[in-house]
Chain A
Amino acid sequence: MKLFRMLGRSIRDAFKSVFRNFSLSLASISCITITLIIVSLSILASFNVENFTKEIEKDMTIVVFVENGASSDTISEIDKKIKKMDNVDSYVFKGKEQVKEEMQKESDIFNTIMADWDQENNPLKDTFQVKVKKVEKISDTAEEIKKIENVAVVRYGEGMVDQMVTAFKSIEKVAYGVVIALIVVTVFLIINTIKLTIFSRKREISIMRLVGASNFTIKTPFIIEGMVLGLIGAILPVCLVLFGYLAFYNHFDGYLFSKVIQLITPEPFIYLVSLMVIGIGMLVGMIGSASAVRKYLKV
């Protein structure tokens, strides 16, 4: 009960203080807003990039063609060697008969052409379809497989997709850098705002100390004030996430540029991102005010 009364008082004081020093609070709030807009854009982007890179990675397979006329001994030899490789996650062997049947199912033209192929004159090759653990190292693994005897050709993914994923990943890194820089600036602005609040309330604080207010009671209003600044600053970014992403998603029908890049469905994704944005805003506010309190409130 006592704690709730104190917290109630702190929250009341925090809101009062935000509006009393409104011009200064506005500076902090707008800085938080801008930061959080960029933060939320990067969250939306990076989650989407991660989502579709995962989708692509799932489909990335190394296809190993075994030379024609390889005996079953040779095939089991290759099997063993692939099995030993570090980056190999899983693989399946598909004999040329199986490949033929699959292709026949895919189209009628193939079906008619391949109908009179038998075991002897089937020009197709036996294959291994290999999935890797780390897509970044797929080319190394492919090279390694190429060196195995009796392996004719090795194919993996399209180079373009590979490059796109790398490009997106570096964009993500730059975005993170910008976000961190902005957060640091915001923290400093909040420290300044809270510092001024502390100075304007010096008299009150000294009296609080004289009449026996605990450090907790003195500090909490300022910390909550920082969190309130963060919360108010998060309003606009959250609206952007909730309505902006939905509009974006609907406008592009869930795909960006091509069917390859599939966007994450808005629900519950946007609520999750909104919560993250609010959380980051309040956390940044809290960190800023906590360090101001530690620096300028000698208790």
Chain B
Amino acid sequence: MDLIRLKNVSKRYKNGVTAIYDMNLSIQKGSFVFVIGGSGSGKSTLIKMLYREEKPTTGSIIVGGVNVAKLRNKKVYKLRRKLGIVFQDYRLLPKLNVYENVAFTMEVIGAKKEETRRKVLKALELVGLKNKIHNYPDQLSGGEQQRVAIARAIVNEPKLLICDEPTGNLDPDRSMEIVKVLEEINKTCGTTVIMATHDKEIVNKMKKQVIVLKEGRLIKQQERGTYDEAF
């Protein structure tokens, strides 16, 4: 079953730059997908349209049965509650400790305390940070901060985890750790993972589905793909 389906999607920014040209794409539930492509290939735009940070100019984007392209600003939060989002720059709150950062997601949607506690600890265990719940972000390494961000993204048990270059700031070993964590989440929770990256090594090692973008167009979608130098 398709979790995500793009139909004739194009995106033209107000400054006249077209980032995506007439894209058709579907992603199955439970899959692990790498979105790769050089700078200006439309990766980020595609990712942003999935969580409705950007609206497509034309076409429809169905995420979990909802047409995100037609979603009104007021209703965006309903979509976001079904997604987890991870960024290159972690985006943690510096004044909150690890536990509070993860619990923040639960708090803003008004969850009960016990439920919050149970889910936060479960998520932190999954990313292997249960022993650092009282630390503050500036006391953690980059890889650990990113794992906190992943815990925050999955604490609400989303169907879809969207990662925008989550390993961009990390060295190869830490990057691999992060991807392993994502794979673990994909396997144990059945969460669909979409990860934009330009880390060749990771893509080649993981042998997952690969979506290749170039100059705003989808040029290849391949199971067990590799980072093809040729594109």
Q: Which residues of A contact B (CB under 8 A)?
A: 2-3, 5-6, 9, 203-204, 206-215, 217, 299
Contact = CB atoms under 8 A, between A and B. Distances in A.
Interface in B47-66: 51
A213 B109 contact: yes
Q: Which among A6, A209, A211, A299 has the greatest number of chain B C-beta atoms within 10 A?
A: A211
A210 B93 contact: no
Nearest to B86: A210
A213 B93 contact: no
A5 B110 contact: yes
A204 B81 CA distance: 17
Nearest to A3: B110
Contacts of A213: 77, 108-109
Contacts of A3: 110
Interface string B51-95: 100000000000000000000011011111111010000010100
Contact of A210 (B80, B109, B110): B80
Contacts of A6: 110
Contacts of A210: 51, 80, 85, 91
B93 to A, nearest CB: 6
Contacts of A208: 104, 108
A212 B81 contact: yes
- 8 smallest beta-carbon distances between A and B, as pairs: A212-B81, A212-B80, A213-B108, A211-B105, A2-B110, A214-B77, A212-B77, A6-B110
B226 interface: no
Nearest to B81: A212
A203 B83 CA distance: 19
Contacts of A217: 108-110
12 contacts: A203-B93, A204-B93, A206-B91, A207-B93, A208-B108, A210-B85, A212-B78, A212-B108, A213-B108, A214-B77, A215-B74, A217-B108
A208 B85 CA distance: 12
A209 B83 CA distance: 12
